[in-house]
Every structure is written in structure tokens, then in C-alpha cells.
Amino acid sequence: MTPHNNAKLGDIAKNVLMPGDPLRAKFIAETFLENVRQVNAVRNMFAFTGTYKGKEITVMGSGMGMPSIGIYSYELYKFYGVENIIRVGSAGSYVDSLDLYDVVLANSSWSQSTFARVQNGSTSDTEYPSEDLNARIEKAAAKLNIPLHLEKLHSSDVFYTEQNVDGYKEISSKYGCACVEMESFALFHNAKVLGKNAACLLTISDSFTSNKQTTAEERQTAFTKMIEVALETFVD
């Protein structure tokens, strides 16, 4: 047990899916897993363990932002023996080539965040997912015939900014970031520091370059595709 997790050792699988929203974790577990049991409820950051095609998997919320995913992912790796975490989240597109509901697999994550510097003195502004886990995700997506966009992410500490509304264009052109989310940099950093594996799958939920309207059905279809890719990754 940790200050933020009252699951017992052995209650959490080696393979974990992390959506931001704990109620999303509940939905994923109840919809896609069998033999589901709830293993954490501290601060309502629900975690559920069950099986998918016979493989044990835990789904746990990460909360929003790097401080939150930083705590939960560190504890899962360090104190619960977790080996692989796939974040399953959403992102805002910075470029026309990434449309609403496209599924993105991060190949790197750039950030202005001080998370890595405070955590272990690292001065790098870019963190990377596990190559091995990414290769397994790509294989699962190919098997399911679901196209993935491999992209560099902007992992931001700030959702509401008073900066120039076109500020995203500079981040996109200068650093090559195709979309923005708020957690991958800390997750990848923790995995690296602790010798574990992390990856990040995202669906595009909003766009900085278009005002296209969407339907609830489209959102659900895109979300389901992403979850199927993540779960199938752990089957082989």
C-alpha cells in the first residue's frame, strides 16, 4: 500500500492501461475485461484488475497533468511491480494532417515542464516511450487494421494560457510537435528512471486548426479503437 493506493501487492497486474479519468477506467474495465475487481478507491482514483483474452490487466486513472500521473505511475512501477503502462488519453491537434479522432502513438514527448529536472536533475526537454512496447503496439494495430499516426507530442503543464492564441504554431514548427496533451513527459521519465516501459496512445479530441463538429458516436468509435489496440498489445 502507498499513500495514494490501497491495492494489495498482487492486486495489480504487470500490464496497466491508464486513462486520465478514473470513471473512464471503470468503463474500460466493465466493457472490455472479464472477472473484474476494484482494487483502489483512494481519492476516487479507481483501479480495476481483470482479464482480457485470459491475460491479467489493470486499468487505473492517472488524473490530469504531470504531478498526478507522476505519483500514480511511480508507485505502480516502484511498489507494485508493474512493468508496462500504456497511457490511453486524448490530445488537441496542432496540425491539419491530424484530424479529429485519429489515433496517435507517441514517438517522443517535448515539454517545458520542470518535472524531470526536479525528479532527478535531468535537463532534457524530450522524453521517449519504450521502443519495444511501441513496436508491440504497432503490431497489434496492424493486426486489427487500425491506422496509427506516429507523432511527437507537446506535453504541457498549462491548459488555459494567456499567451498568444497562435503560440501553438511556434511549438509545432520549432519543436515538431503535432498535438498537445499533459501527461506523457512525466510517464516516460518515470519509466526510464525505474527501468520500466511506457507508451502513450491518444485520440484527437480537439483541433487548434479547425472548428469541425463531431458526434458522440464518432467519439465512442475512436475511443474503442484505441482501447482495442492497447489491450491487444498485451495479448501476445
155 binds ligand ADE (CB under 6 A): no
Count the Cβ atoms, other than its own, within 10 Å of residue 2: 16
E strands present in 9-145: 15-18, 34-40, 47-52, 55-60, 84-93, 103-110, 126-127
Q: Which residue is nearest to ligand ADE, using beta carbons? A: 92
Residue 200: all three cell numbers together: 502513450
Out of 19, 92, 98, 130, the only residue in the binding site for ligand ADE (CB under 6 A) is: 92
The contacts of residue 220 (CB under 8 Å, 6+ apart) are none
Least CB distance to ligand ADE at residue 174 (A): 18
Our answer to whether residue 206 is catalytic in this structure is yes
137/182 with CB nearer ligand ADE? 182
Residue type for position 147: P
- Is 129 near ligand ADE (CB under 6 A)? no
Residue number with CB closer to ligand ADE (180 or 198): 180
Candidates 159, 161, 167, 170; binder of ligand ADE (CB under 6 A) is: 159
Instruction: Give the C-alpha separation, 169 to 40, whole Å.
Output: 40
Give yes or no for residue 156 binding ligand ADE (CB under 6 A): yes
- The answer to whether residue 198 forms part of the interface with ligand ADE (CB under 6 A) is no
Residue in 58, 73, 205, 233 binding ligand ADE, rule: CB under 6 A: 205
Residues 129, 203 contacting (CB under 8 angstroms): no
According to DSSP, the β-strands at 34-40 and 126-127 are unpaired
**Member of 107, 206, 209, 228 binding ligand ADE (CB under 6 A):** 206
**Rounded distance between C-alpha atoms, residue 236 and residue 224, angstroms:** 19
| CB 207, CB 145: distance < 8 Å | no
Tell me if 90 contacts ligand ADE by CB under 6 A: yes
CB count, 10 Å around CB of 226?
26
Query: Is residue 143 a contact residue for ligand ADE (CB under 6 A)?
Result: no
Of 75, 127, 181, 232, the residue at the interface with ligand ADE (CB under 6 A) is 181
C-alpha cell at 206: 480537439
Q: Which stretch binds ligand ADE (CB under 6 A): 112-120, 136-144, 175-183, 186-194?
A: 175-183
Report the interface residues with ligand ADE, using CB under 6 A.
90-92, 156, 159, 180-182, 205-206
Name the residues annotated as catalytic. 206
